[in-house]
A and B are shown apart, each in its own frame.
Chain A
Amino acid sequence: MLKDITIGQYFPGTSVIHRLDPRMKIVLTIVYVVLLFLVENLAGFVLSVVFVLAAYLIARIPVKMIAKSIKPILPILLFTMLLNLFFVRGTVIWQWGVLEITREGVRLSVLMVIRILCLIAGTSLLTYTTSPMTLTDGIERLLKPLGKVHFPVHELAMMMTIALRFIPTLVEETEKIMAAQKARGADMETGSLIHRAKALVPILIPLFLSAFRRAEELALAMECRCYHGGKGRTRMKQMHLAPRDLWALLLTAAALAAVIVCNIFFGSLYG
């Protein structure tokens, strides 16, 4: 059950997309999100779906992973769909009491759903193809200019790195503690809501204790190795842009341009 959390779950591979510079991948993901919000017509939507699917194929990430990452936001998806379905004014095609569905509503809700799906698929691809450590390195480099205004970029990146590093550890720890309490007959799956909330106590207390213990040990270990923040710190792995990064940028820019052109020539669906 805990293993179903896919955010930040890296899917190792050696595809071109895996090897892209993390900075470029972050920028491209942002560009893709912007693209999704610029799209105004069917041609644009087709383009954005094809774009993200092609990226999955190139990265050799099984497409069913998209389904996995969508599962947690299914309620939001449904809510958006219903909201658009019932509250958009226009040509009424179905009516029951105060509820009415319009042609525009149907169209818009379908498009909204596609947009959200692409959004999730696109951003998940970033975390599927980039290891968390590389990702935070990329973020740190991208945010570096902010350091000029005394924004603690390095500290922030270090916090993110540590947090990301410890997610799998804590998940594993939780599973272990759950198994141990289950072995003593703890029942977490049945009973009323209050009963189930109470059943969490035997898991949360040991988990908190171990998280604090780990934090303390880590702080000590870092101090032992003379960690003193980002000042004067050099990197073992330098990031360099390669030709493939430029090609990726070019392709994404072309997609963005195509969407804008579509908007100009095919008009808008939003009327």
Chain B
Amino acid sequence: MGTILTLEHLTYTYSPDTPFEKVALDDIDLSIEAGEFVGVIGHTGSGKSTLIQHMNGLLQPTKGRVLFRGRDIWEDKKKLRQIRFAVGLVFQYPEYQLFEETVEKDIAFGPTNMGLSPDEIKGRVREAASLVGLPEALLKKSPFELSGGQKRRVAIAGVIAMRPQVLILDEPTAGLDPRGREMILRQIKEYHTKMGNTVLLVSHSMDDVARFASRVLVMNRSRVFAYDTPEAVFCRGGELREIGLSVPQMTMVADALRQRGYPLPEGIYTVEQAAQALLLLFRGGDAPC
């Protein structure tokens, strides 16, 4: 399918020429293949949020270019809105942007802006609602009557309803209880499998990223620290710890076991992998050294 998003020498400075000047992104080069599930990790202030806002043209680079399917998105400013429909962005705490009288109308806001026919809009609203697991009965309710987790899903549905080719989610599970987190993450994964499009998931949880991502992007101090497969990234556990990030819990368990003399292979980062490796080890009957 090829590259869908390319960033070339992307640099962004906040409040230039004032005492508050701050370089948020420093010469970023990155290309994202279509169909990937990218996990984006980094500290608060490492430039994650600024980075994703460049991908749909909400921020204009101070220097450098953003290419969507090989075309500079700032080439024609009139087409920027089309880019925003193609690259859907769900902000942090998206439930605070709900405003319509009913859930249905709020999800329809994006598709309406796209200028679709009423029937098409209706179909997309149902589709998006079912993708995020919202029951039909809720569609006629006011979004302000819903629970926090439901509101969150309404907001995500509002972006999914635009059928974006790239879906970017900025910490979609922040502030939710464990069950709500699990549900949202699983629905995002399902959505990715079903639609086969590109998903970028910004998260603070190494474990979530390890479970779902096919690629991991690590941001550190306004730069790309690593962009690779989860195996390759989590192998660099020491470096990750040095920049104040951790590795998934299973990688830690495997490392600890290895230190105690159990010959586990490298590159373990999910529960399933760890279970398999351990089973193999015990069935193989290798005695601990």
**Which residues of A are interface residues toward B (Cβ below 8 A)?**
3, 11-13, 176-177, 179-187, 201-202, 205-206, 209-210
A12 to B88, CA, bound (A): 38
Asked whether, in the complex, the Cβ of A187 is within 8 Å of the Cβ of B81, the reply is yes
A183: contacting residue among B15, B19, B88, B114, CB under 8 A:
B88
Asked whether, in the complex, the Cβ of B97 is within 8 Å of the Cβ of A181, the reply is yes
- For the complex with contacts A183-B58, A184-B110, A185-B84, 17 further pairs of A-B residues with Cβ separation under 8 Å are A13-B19, A179-B53, A182-B84, A184-B109, A184-B158, A184-B159, A184-B162, A185-B81, A185-B85, A186-B113, A202-B97, A205-B99, A206-B98, A206-B99, A209-B96, A209-B144, A210-B96
Asked whether, in the complex, the Cβ of A177 is within 8 Å of the Cβ of B58, the reply is no
Q: Which A residue sits closest to B114, measured CB to CB?
A: A185
Residues of A within 8 A of B84 (CB): 182-185
26 contacts between A and B (CB under 8 A): A11-B19, A176-B91, A179-B53, A179-B91, A180-B97, A181-B97, A181-B109, A183-B56, A183-B58, A183-B88, A183-B91, A184-B84, A184-B158, A184-B162, A185-B85, A185-B113, A185-B114, A186-B109, A186-B113, A187-B113, A202-B99, A202-B109, A205-B99, A206-B98, A209-B144, A210-B96
B58: contacting residue among A182, A187, A202, CB under 8 A:
A182
A186 to B80, CA, bound (A): 12
A170 to B167, CA, bound (A): 28
Residues of A within 8 A of B113 (CB): 184-187
Residues of B within 8 A of A183 (CB): 56, 58, 84, 88-89, 91, 159
A187 to B81, CA, bound (A): 8
Given the known inter-chain contacts A3-B15, A176-B91, please indicate yes or no for A185 contacting B110, CB distance below 8 A: yes
B172 at the interface (CB under 8 A from A): no
Task: Quote the shortest CB–CB distance from B273 to chain A (angstroms).
Answer: 36
Q: Give chain B interface residues in 1-45, CB to chain A under 8 Å.
A: 15, 18-19
A183 to B155, CA, bound (A): 12
Q: Which A residue sits closest to B87, measured CB to CB?
A: A183
**Which residues of B are interface residues toward A (Cβ below 8 A)?**
15, 18-19, 53, 56, 58, 81, 84-85, 88-89, 91, 94, 96-99, 109-110, 113-114, 144, 158-159, 162
Nearest 9 interchain pairs by C-beta: A185-B113, A205-B99, A184-B110, A180-B97, A183-B89, A180-B91, A202-B99, A179-B58, A206-B97
Q: Which B residue sits closest to A183, measured CB to CB?
A: B89
Q: Which A residue sits closest to B113, measured CB to CB?
A: A185
Residues of A within 8 A of B15 (CB): 3
Residues of A within 8 A of B158 (CB): 184
Q: Which B residue sits closest to A180, measured CB to CB?
A: B97
A177 to B144, CA, bound (A): 16
A209 to B159, CA, bound (A): 21
Residues of A within 8 A of B96 (CB): 177, 206, 209-210
Asked whether, in the complex, the Cβ of B81 is within 8 Å of the Cβ of A180, the reply is no
Residues of A within 8 A of B53 (CB): 179
Given the known inter-chain contacts A185-B110, A185-B113, A186-B113, please indicate yes or no for A180 contacting B19, CB distance below 8 A: no
Of B56, B91, B96, B159, most A-chain CB atoms within 10 Å: B96
Task: Quote the shortest CB–CB distance from B160 to chain A (angstroms).
Answer: 11
Task: Quote the shortest CB–CB distance from B108 to chain A (angstroms).
Answer: 10
Of A3, A183, A186, most B-chain CB atoms within 10 Å: A183
Q: Which A residue sits closest to B19, measured CB to CB?
A: A12
A183 to B88, CA, bound (A): 7
Task: Quote the shortest CB–CB distance from A169 to chain B (angstroms).
Answer: 13
A13 to B19, CA, bound (A): 9
Residues of A within 8 A of B109 (CB): 181, 184-186, 202
Q: Which A residue sits closest to B93, measured CB to CB?
A: A176
A180 to B155, CA, bound (A): 10
A11 to B21, CA, bound (A): 12
Residues of A within 8 A of B89 (CB): 183
Residues of A within 8 A of B162 (CB): 184-185
Q: Which B residue sits closest to A11, measured CB to CB?
A: B19
A179 to B168, CA, bound (A): 14
A180 to B94, CA, bound (A): 8
A182 to B96, CA, bound (A): 14
Residues of B within 8 A of A205 (CB): 99
A205 to B84, CA, bound (A): 22
A180 to B19, CA, bound (A): 28
Q: Which B residue sits closest to A173, measured CB to CB?
A: B96
A146 to B89, CA, bound (A): 53
A183 to B110, CA, bound (A): 8
Task: Quote the shortest CB–CB distance from B100 to chain A (angstroms).
Answer: 8
Residues of A within 8 A of B91 (CB): 176, 179-180, 183
Task: Quote the shortest CB–CB distance from A154 to chain B (angstroms).
Answer: 32
A186 to B114, CA, bound (A): 9
Q: Which B residue sits closest to A185, measured CB to CB?
A: B113
Residues of A within 8 A of B18 (CB): 11
Task: Quote the shortest CB–CB distance from B62 to chain A (angstroms).
Answer: 15
Residues of B within 8 A of A3 (CB): 15
Q: Which B residue sits closest to A199, measured CB to CB?
A: B113
